[in-house]
Amino acid sequence: MTHRIVIVGGGAGGLELATRLGKTMGRNFQAKITLVDANMTHLWKPLLHEVAAGSLNSTGDELNYVAQAKWNNFEFQYGRMCGLDRANKRIRLAAQPAREDRAPLPERELEYDTLVISVGSTTNDFGTPGAAENCIFLESRDQAERFRRLLLSHYLRAHASNDDGHQVKVAIVGAGATGVELAAELRHASKELVAYGLERIPPENLSITLVESSPRVLAALPERISRSAHATLESLGVRVIVGTAVSEVTAEGVKTRDDQFIPADLMVWAAGVRAPAFLKDLDGLETNRINQLLVRPTLQTSLDDDIFAFGDCASCPQPGTDRPVPPRAQAAHQQASLLAKSLYRKLQEDKPLLEYRYSDRGSLISLSSFSAIGNLMGNLTGNVTLEGWLARQFYISLYRMHQMALYGTFRTLMMMLGDRFRSSTEPRLKLH
């Protein structure tokens, strides 16, 4: 019987793995590859801050899983994993209720010989009172679109009035990559909205406050990059508060532990990550305090050789350190590449599995059209800090590399050409 590989999670890593395996083992009928996801389309998660600000029309950059499966010799199953039966090698997919645009789906099971879990991460609000009820979490396209619609509604309401004194206050909790990039993208959007005639709220009347509990923004990156990003944000009129944790979020704003109150009309929580909660009760598999599955260097889960996990939902050890592999897009990409080789070796019973070694290639942060900053690390370049136009071009290239992994070089070049044409015929912001 054909070996059945089921991949749960169609994020950057899971979709890249399904595509790679489909092109090789699926095409040659060495294995049946099935990708499971609770959405019908894929959007690269680092783009969500652009969707939230309206700088990116998400419908133009999303990828349909059904089409990708057809093009690359794998199968797609729409559903959300909710259970696991390791003894009988089955996963359970939750029932989906009827929606206005979608028929209901019953609970069902899928059988596997090898299971790969790549369900990414969710935002960790650390149990902060009021955060879940009053903040928007940029975890999905729907959430990013919700923020964009709410922001645009403030501008349209002001445009319909005769009062020029309108203000919009935005508070962003967390000054990691998402928070910093969103703050810069919102400042860019405030200027573009005025250029399109929504001038009742001038750029300076969009108040943006960034709150971070660490002593500096972008705390995971080198201090030089952090200082430069901080200075750029302040030059854009973003209020940056560091070394201050949030104690409570209300409908009116954000309270900090040092008794500050930051009034806000819109609040975004972009601090901390954790794996989805269902993983901690997954038929006895070992997890850590943030629900990540514990895996060995081979990316096999600690208690089951036939279940692999990678990306943000897995805690993989780094040799020579007590820290696991960081939850970053480059790690998921590297792990997907390794697993594509390892799963082929797994079918060749005499070949040992490969072990993953994290290679930090650096980090790049987009500050919208204003700038970009980061560092590149490699054997040839060493550790090089980039800023400005050149850093922006490298940042854009990361997305193009992701597209190449999914579409191939020729189709990616055609998409780049199409993007160039669309930019001359469409508004610079999504205005509906």
Q: Which of 212, 238, 269 marks a domain boundary?
A: 269
Residue 102 in any domain: the answer is yes
325-337 pLDDT tens trace: 998 889 999 999 9
- Nearest 5°: the CA angle 323, 300, 46 is 60
Please tell me the distance from the alpha carbon of residue 45 to that of residue 177, in angstroms, as a whole number.
Answer: 12
Q: Is residue 183 part of a domain?
A: yes
* Shared domain check, 80 and 148: no
At 234, list the tokens: 């302040």
Q: Within this chain, do residues 152 and 241 fall inside the same structural domain, yes or no?
A: yes
Same-domain pairing of 245 and 260 = yes
> Is 428 domain-assigned?
no
Q: What is the pLDDT of residue 377?
A: 67
**Domain assignment of residue 405, given as a range:** 364-423
Grouping H, G, I as helix, E, B as strand and the rest as coil, residue 322 is coil
The CA distance from 65 to 7, in Å, is 13
pLDDT in the model for residue 382: 53
From the list 377, 386, 375, the residue with the least C-alpha distance to 359 is 377
The answer to whether residues 143 and 265 belong to one domain is yes
> What pLDDT does residue 380 have?
47
Domain boundary among 249, 269, 289: 269
Specify if 355 maps to a domain.
Answer: no
For the chain, helix (H) and strand (E) counts, in that order, are 11, 26
Q: Are residues 164 and 71 in the same domain?
A: no
Domain total for the chain? 3
* Beta partners for residue 363, in sequence order: 375
* Residue 251: inside a domain: yes
Spell out the SS3 assignment of 27-66. CCCCEEEEEEECCCEECCHHHHHHHHHCCCCHHHHCEEHH
Compute the C-alpha angle 16/18/21, nearest 5°: 105
- CA nearest neighbour of 374 among 390, 355, 358, 359: 390
Tell me the C-alpha distance between 47 and 150, whole Å.
18
Which of 236, 269, 302 finishes a domain? 269
Q: What is the pLDDT of residues 160-194, one digit of tens each?
A: 987 777 899 999 999 999 999 999 999 999 999 99
pLDDT over 90, % of the chain = 70
Do 280 and 265 lie in one domain? The reply is no
Residue 100 lies in a domain: yes
d(CA 337, CA 13): 9
- The long-range contacts involving 154-161, CB below 8 angstroms and separated by at least 24 positions, are 154/201, 154/265, 154/266, 155/193, 155/198, 155/200, 155/201, 156/198, 158/198, 158/200, 158/201, 159/197, 159/198, 159/200, 161/200
**Domain match, 167 and 242 both:** yes
List, in sequence order, every residue forming a beta bridge with 376; answer none if it has no partner.
362, 384
Q: Clarify whether residues 172 and 286 are in a common domain.
A: no
Q: Which residues of the chain have pLDDT under 50?
A: 379-381
Shared domain for 187 and 153, answered yes or no, is yes
Any domain includes 31: yes
The CA-based angle 274-278-280, given to 5 degrees, is 75
66 and 158 co-located in one domain: no
Please check whether residue 432 lies inside any domain of the structure.
no
Amino acid at 39: N
Same domain as 248, residue 279 = no
- pLDDT for 432 equals 83
Check whether residue 161 and residue 232 sit in a common domain: yes
Measured CA to CA in angstroms, residue 333 lies from 245, 330, 340, 401 at distances of 32, 5, 11, 10
The CATH number linked to 44 is: 3.50.50.60
